[in-house]
Chain A
């Protein structure tokens, strides 16, 4: 029995990957939930908004790299992030003015807006592919590892290695800073409060003199920030490919539904729930169990509940189960 090795293996292959994936999903889900809460529709163009923001960040990263600007050991992409956010915000505000505003004025039903957002999704899809193509792009630079598996093994003398990528640490730190800032903004600032008021009861908010256009604009601005950060972190940690970002829509929607659409706290919790379920259910537990149980009980099989190909099935099942049995989600408030 060797609990220490088991713990390290668990940490290395389950906890750390799931935590960084969860953080990336959580930021994405925050954006979806915010748009749902305030603009009252599910934004299907979200995955492609993330892809667009990341595309701009990648272009700026390349520009900085060619100019020789670097903030090593941190990735150059961090420096490019504000530019990506600015361009994405312009795109989202432009889309709102050109498309969504029309339907809002008509007081169109949410389902119509959902279909409209699907149309926007296809257009953004095209824009991203025209700009950067369909190929995979790697734009991570700077220090690759905070702690490499080999170093860890040499240092502790354990059989199992523990690796922490620089981008994983960066993801977690950035995610918590972003979330903290967002919660502070929503709870403490005047604009944040007016957004929450608008979300709770639109008519009452209008009566108390809140400017709806301003609320909508600020929402899109925050959405741009969240989309670009989530996309960039995912791209840095894994890699960028437009089609993958489109596919991220499913786990992100699952995350925001689990937490309760419209609830920022729920989005964060949902992100981690979805990520951990995906990883835990598709992980082969053989190694960890072999360390923990007496030798005679060591398993022959892989102890894997689902093949790794079924990752998306996990998100999808969560989505359906929650909608069937708990349609408001964990933190949802509306009936």
Chain B
């Protein structure tokens, strides 16, 4: 590891001697731990973006990455690594963290005290939207709260007045259910009942009996497709309590339609998925890259975009000082309000740098269709679907 770092530093140094200033970016992902199968692709994609910028020869800075292991779950370990990145490696920005818990901890205990920008590609907890961040924290992944808003809109468009809601008794289910219920009530809907279900049971008739007693136009199942969510639907169909379901992302999978076939026709829902033209481009780039990465693996596109945003912002601000370039991130991601910014897709980072140098506005779209909203988080793209003839059918993207 040390040799690798030395080597990459040496290469960066020789490259830097040409013209550009050398800039290190921390890549703080959980290379070990629960999402270790994802983070390899994520880091490779982020580093591919750096290489693309360096190779274009148009950046004022030459970027190199400093990898650190956030472990995904151990906040203390992640903070130590982040602290080392900032103080001894001298990174100018951090890509990460990955999981919501460690990201929040690093933000509060390392990034804010040191005034360091963090762009997370994968932290989705709604709590991070309201966390104090001094304008330093951004994410290219949407908050779970966003899915709640989308779900509420879809429900309203279908003319649903009252929903019964059940969620998997997990952090994901609880957060999502809360988001759906508050968003739906804000739109004037009524939630007749809001109860958890335990995953891994074989009989959910008692839960369904409670849901049926409370009643509702539709049953929202914020659970997992291979777990309790399926059992809830089964018990609902068996007892005739509900025949239509609103299905969030966790319930989407072919195992659902394989199992229930046409009996859940007319159910609908939404799943985080991008229809951005950049998605296909990055998928292709990932296959040709050395080392290769699978852009369709979760949060890989977001990682490329996070790295690209950070580097473009530094160039636009003509500064690597986090306090200065943090102001440029939203501008780069969204372009001017009138939509006149030139759309930038993956593989066009050189072009983006040219435009920035000419003083023209850009609207970075990237692989995941980046649009940052509110406190600097991705609006996210969601696919609205309906189940027809026992198949998922796309209605539209929103």
> Is A14 an interface residue when CB atoms closer than 8 A count as contact?
yes
> Is A163 an interface residue when CB atoms closer than 8 A count as contact?
yes
Contact with A along B210-243 (1 / 0, CB 8 A): 1011110000000000000001001000111101
Stretch at the interface among A55-63, A101-109, A204-212, A280-288: A280-288
Across chains A and B, the number of contacting residue pairs, with CB separation under 8 Å, is 85
A284→B209 contact, CB < 8 A: yes
Nearest residue, chain A, Cβ from B231:
A239
Alpha-carbon gap, A197 to B368, bound state (A): 77
Alpha-carbon gap, A307 to B206, bound state (A): 9
- The distance from the CB of A147 to the nearest CB of chain B, in whole angstroms, is 10
B207→A308 contact, CB < 8 A: yes
Alpha-carbon gap, A286 to B259, bound state (A): 32
- Complex interface residues of chain A between 276 and 310 (CB less than 8 A to chain B): 278-279, 282-288, 302-304, 307-309
- The distance from the CB of A234 to the nearest CB of chain B, in whole angstroms, is 8
Q: How many residues of chain A are within 8 Å of chain B by beta carbon? A: 40
- Complex interface residues of chain A between 115 and 137 (CB less than 8 A to chain B): 136
A309→B213 contact, CB < 8 A: no
A149→B202 contact, CB < 8 A: no
B205→A17 contact, CB < 8 A: yes
Residue among B169, B202, B231 making CB contact with A240, cutoff 8 Å? B202
Alpha-carbon gap, A152 to B239, bound state (A): 11
Of B197, B206, B238, the most chain A CB neighbours within 10 A belong to: B206
> Is A238 an interface residue when CB atoms closer than 8 A count as contact?
yes
A282→B202 contact, CB < 8 A: no
Alpha-carbon gap, A282 to B203, bound state (A): 14
Give chain B residues whose Cβ lies under 8 Å from the Cβ of A83: none
6 sample A-B contacts, Cβ–Cβ < 8 Å, listed by A number: A161-B239, A238-B202, A287-B213, A303-B213, A307-B195, A309-B169
Nearest residue, chain B, Cβ from A162:
B240
- Complex interface residues of chain A between 1 and 57 (CB less than 8 A to chain B): 12-14, 17, 21
A311→B202 contact, CB < 8 A: no
A149→B206 contact, CB < 8 A: no
A149→B200 contact, CB < 8 A: no
Alpha-carbon gap, A317 to B282, bound state (A): 59
Q: A17-B209, A17-B239 are in contact. List 9 more A-B contacts (CB 8 A).
A: A13-B209, A14-B209, A163-B239, A240-B202, A279-B206, A279-B209, A284-B209, A284-B210, A304-B213
Contact with A along B67-105 (1 / 0, CB 8 A): 000000000000000000000000000000000000000
- The distance from the CB of A11 to the nearest CB of chain B, in whole angstroms, is 11
> Is B196 an interface residue when CB atoms closer than 8 A count as contact?
yes
Give chain A residues whose Cβ lies under 8 Å from the Cβ of B2: none
> Is B198 an interface residue when CB atoms closer than 8 A count as contact?
yes
- Complex interface residues of chain A between 253 and 291 (CB less than 8 A to chain B): 278-279, 282-288
A149→B239 contact, CB < 8 A: yes
User: A interface vs B, CB < 8 Å?
Assistant: 12-14, 17, 21, 136, 138, 148-150, 152-153, 161-163, 165, 234-235, 238-241, 243-244, 278-279, 282-288, 302-304, 307-309, 311
Alpha-carbon gap, A217 to B313, bound state (A): 80
- The distance from the CB of A284 to the nearest CB of chain B, in whole angstroms, is 4
A283→B210 contact, CB < 8 A: yes
Residue among A162, A165, A241, A308 making CB contact with B206, cutoff 8 Å? A308
Contact with A along B106-132 (1 / 0, CB 8 A): 000000000000000000000000000
Alpha-carbon gap, A248 to B231, bound state (A): 18
Q: A240-B202, A286-B213 are in contact. Are A150 and B240 (CB under 8 A)?
A: yes
Give chain A residues whose Cβ lies under 8 Å from the Cβ of B243: 150
Of A14, A153, A283, A284, the most chain B CB neighbours within 10 A belong to: A284
Question: Number of contact residues on B: which range applies?
Answer: 20 to 34
> Is B373 an interface residue when CB atoms closer than 8 A count as contact?
no
- The distance from the CB of B165 to the nearest CB of chain A, in whole angstroms, is 13
Nearest residue, chain B, Cβ from A241:
B202
Give chain B residues whose Cβ lies under 8 Å from the Cβ of A240: 202
Give chain A residues whose Cβ lies under 8 Å from the Cβ of B241: 13, 149
Give chain B residues whose Cβ lies under 8 Å from the Cβ of A153: 240
- The distance from the CB of A146 to the nearest CB of chain B, in whole angstroms, is 12
Give chain A residues whose Cβ lies under 8 Å from the Cβ of B231: 239
Residue among B193, B197, B200 making CB contact with A243, cutoff 8 Å? B200
Give chain A residues whose Cβ lies under 8 Å from the Cβ of B196: 309
Nearest residue, chain A, Cβ from B210:
A284
B203→A238 contact, CB < 8 A: yes
Residue among B201, B203, B212 making CB contact with A287, cutoff 8 Å? B212
Nearest residue, chain B, Cβ from A16:
B239
Nearest residue, chain B, Cβ from A283:
B209
A136→B206 contact, CB < 8 A: no
Q: A161-B240, A163-B238, A308-B195 are in contact. Are A302 and B202 (CB under 8 A)?
A: no
- The distance from the CB of B274 to the nearest CB of chain A, in whole angstroms, is 31
Residue among B205, B214, B240 making CB contact with A302, cutoff 8 Å? B214
Give chain A residues whose Cβ lies under 8 Å from the Cβ of B169: 309
Alpha-carbon gap, A188 to B197, bound state (A): 47
Give chain A residues whose Cβ lies under 8 Å from the Cβ of B197: 308
Give chain A residues whose Cβ lies under 8 Å from the Cβ of B202: 136, 234-235, 238-241, 244
Give chain B residues whose Cβ lies under 8 Å from the Cβ of A286: 213-214
Contact with A along B167-185 (1 / 0, CB 8 A): 0010000000000000000
Alpha-carbon gap, A149 to B213, bound state (A): 15
Give chain A residues whose Cβ lies under 8 Å from the Cβ of B239: 12-13, 17, 149, 161, 163
Give chain B residues whose Cβ lies under 8 Å from the Cβ of A149: 239-241
Alpha-carbon gap, A163 to B242, bound state (A): 12
Alpha-carbon gap, A240 to B198, bound state (A): 16
Give chain A residues whose Cβ lies under 8 Å from the Cβ of B206: 17, 278-279, 282-283, 308, 311
Residue among A152, A161, A239, A302 making CB contact with B210, cutoff 8 Å? A302
Alpha-carbon gap, A307 to B203, bound state (A): 15
